[in-house]
Amino acid sequence: MSTTTSPAWEKADPGAHAADPRAMAFADAYPQRPIPTGRPVDDSSICAAPSTGLEALWQAVVPETRTRANDIHLPIVTAYATRLCEAYPQADRELVLVATALHDTGWAHVDESRIISEGFQGDWRKAAIRYEHEAEGCQVARRVLPELGYDAEFVDRVCEIIDGHDTRPVAFSLEDALVRDSDRLWRFDRAGIAMSTTWFGMDPAEYTDRLEREILPELITEAAVRMAEADLARSRALMRTEAIR
Ligand SMILES: [Fe+2]
Ligand SMILES: [Fe+2]
């Protein structure tokens, strides 16, 4: 039995954002949820499929990767995003991958002492520090992307995804959805479990139970659901959560 006291881990509340014209257009375009894929889905361990490319972008944000395990989180989430782009070839792959690589770089520009105290406790989705890391992430994108040759319209689209990626409960586009699903998928891999159990103060058995109950239903795409289920089964077996609880 777990003796950990569960922090409040509020369910996402669509709230006012559900009425945003972009959210409504996306919901109309993809009424079936999770969004089906007609493609094969690679649900093997993410270790088998690192992302490739984006070297200049990674080099531009090395300082930003040194906060909050971003040098582990961002490449792994980008590997998941690469897989999801293969399952949804209609998505703008470059946009998904660039937005994913940069989505949490803003953590490097907020008060680090507040990351754990506010960002992972209580109603963490609505903590002020969460909004700040999104706004700062957009600043990073606006600083580094033009130098790498990306045009203003592309940069705006990246920022639209970064802005609200944690605090806005609904997606505005397929690309936005793939970034969100990738960010959640990392939690199901053992590296994500190792970091997140520490951040959220939970043991692996309780944490994986909550992933199944609370995070799996939030996934937007069928490919992500299948990858999450496969990762969850592997991670539970590896951590022996049936016995260590
Ligand atoms: Fe984030
Ligand atoms: Fe993230």
User: Can you list the domains of the chain with their CATH numbers?
Assistant: 50-239 (1.10.3210.10)
Q: Ligand 2 centroid vs 16 CA: distance in angstroms?
A: 23
The answer to pTM > 0.85 is: yes
Nearest ligand, CA 161: 1
Q: How far is the CA of 159 from the centre of ligand 2 (A)?
A: 14
229 closest CA partner among 195, 197, 185, 192: 185
Using one digit for the tens of pLDDT, what is the confidence trace for 35-71? Answer: 999 999 999 999 999 999 999 999 999 999 999 999 9
Kindly identify the ligand whose nearest atom is closest to the C-alpha of 78: 2
pLDDT of residue 154 exceeding 90, the answer is: yes
* CA–centroid distance, residue 134 to ligand 1 (Å): 7
- Average pLDDT score over residue span 126-133: 86
pLDDT in tens, 191-244: 999 999 998 899 999 999 999 999 999 999 999 999 999 999 999 999 999 999
State both tokens at 185. Answer: 């998928």
The ligand that comes nearest to the alpha carbon of residue 184 is 2
Quote the ligand 1 centre to 185 CA distance (angstroms): 13
Nearest ligand to the C-alpha of residue 183? 2
Rounded distance from Cα 42 to ligand 2 centre (Å): 21
**Smallest-distance ligand from the CA of 181:** 2
Q: Are 139 and 109 in contact (CB under 8 A)?
A: yes
Residue 73 Cα to ligand 2 middle (Å): 7
Instruction: Name the percent of the chain lying above pLDDT 70.
Output: 90
What pLDDT is stored for residue 172 in this prediction? 96
Question: Stretch 104-118: mean pLDDT, rounded?
Answer: 84
Ligand having the closest approach to the CA of 162: 1
**189 CB neighbour count, 10 Å cutoff:** 23
Give the pLDDT score at 5.
Answer: 43
HSE, CB side, 13 Å, CA atoms: give it for residue 230.
Answer: 12
Residue 128 binned pLDDT confidence (cut-offs 50, 70, 90): confident
Question: What pLDDT is stored for residue 10 in this prediction?
Answer: 54
DSSP character string of 122-175: SSGGG-HHHHHHHHHHHHHHHHHTGGGT--HHHHHHHHHHHTTTTT--S-SSHH
Q: Which ligand is nearest to the CA of 70?
A: 2
Residue 99, both tokens:
């937005």
Report CA(137)–ligand 2 centroid distance (Å). 11
